[in-house]
Amino acid sequence: QEKVQQSPESLIVPEGAMVSLNCSFSDSASQSIWWYQQHPGKGPKALISIFSNGNKKEGRLTVYLNRASLHVSLHIKDSQPSDSAVYLCAVSMASNYQLIWGSGTKLIIKP
């Protein structure tokens, strides 16, 4: 059974800082790794996904995947108060259509 672990559990940074969030997974046969953002009282919203080793950049977001170490990270540049949310890492498996979720990192950006 795939396991997804996220760290840290929570993070408080000042506005404008670079944010780094971590996610490790247990199954090297995993397909895509997704990062979702969830604001209170809302459903998760997909931010960015990655399949191949290396990095992928979209706007202020950069994601790094290292399949050998079973690790993926999300970096948010020039953080804004509106970035305050829970960030969820989710892994899709080749064998089915499910997503396996981490427990999330609660991010607070202080103005």
Partner 1 sequence: GPKVLQIPSHQIIDMGQMVTLNCDPVSNHLYFYWYKQILGQQMEFLVNFYNGKVMEKSKLFKDQFSVERPDGSYFTLKIQPTALEDSAVYFCASHTGGFAETLYFGSGTRLTVL
Chain positions contacting partner 1, by CB under 8 A: 31-32, 34, 41-46, 49, 51, 88, 90, 92, 94, 96-104
Nearer to partner 1, 44 or 65 (CB): 44
Contacts for 41-44 with beta carbons within 8 Å, 24 or more apart? 44/88
How far lies 62's CA from each of 33, 65, 72, in Å?
Answer: 13, 10, 11
Site of tokens 């996904």: 49
- DSSP 8-state assignment for residue 81: G
Q: Which is nearer to partner 1, 13 or 48 (CB)?
A: 48
Of 40 and 111, nearer to partner 1 (C-beta) is 40
What's the closest the beta carbon of residue 36 comes to partner 1, in angstroms? Answer: 8
